[in-house]
Amino acid sequence: MTITEALPIALFILSVVFGLLGSVYLLIFCFSGIIRFVSNKKASAVLSKVPAPGSITDESVPSGSEPIYGGSMKLRNVDEQTAALIMAIISDESGIPSSELIFKSIRLIGEEQTKLSSKEAAL
């Protein structure tokens, strides 16, 4: 086969390949546009249900049956750094954010109770 016979066949095959690549590009472009349109529609529907920041809803106002915790905590034989460390460990181990935990008191289980347990062990 000479070059003059092979050249039209090669050009035809090249045009078929580029045509298929172009059609795949258009297909991907159309699907991404459809997905973008649907996701924007869902996002706008969700955003319309979410209240604006600072607005008061029925869910944000606490009911009368559940008391509001004032935020004071009693530290007994514990300094503030140790209490903060204990609260961070509890938050990390439980998987609950520290903003959702309420600590009412933290006390050190110290020497007095260890002395009692050693006396009980001796008996």
Is 89 inside a domain boundary? yes
Q: 40 and 78: one domain? A: no
Structure tokens at 19: 């045509």
| pLDDT the model gives residue 122 | 54
Query: Are 42 and 78 in the same domain?
Result: no
Nearest to 90 by CA among 54, 82, 4: 82
The domain containing residue 90 runs over which residues? 74-109
Residue 57, in any domain of the structure: no
Whether 123 is covered by a domain: the verdict is no
Kindly state whether residue 27 falls inside one of the protein's structural domains. yes
Number of domains in the chain: 2
User: Does 41 share its domain with 78?
Assistant: no
Distances (CA, A) of 99 to 36, 87, 88, 91: 35, 11, 11, 9
pTM flag (> 0.85):
no
The pLDDT of residue 5 is 92
Query: What parts of the chain have a pLDDT lower than 50?
Result: 58, 61
pLDDT score at 6: 93
Q: 92: which 2 tokens?
A: 């990390």
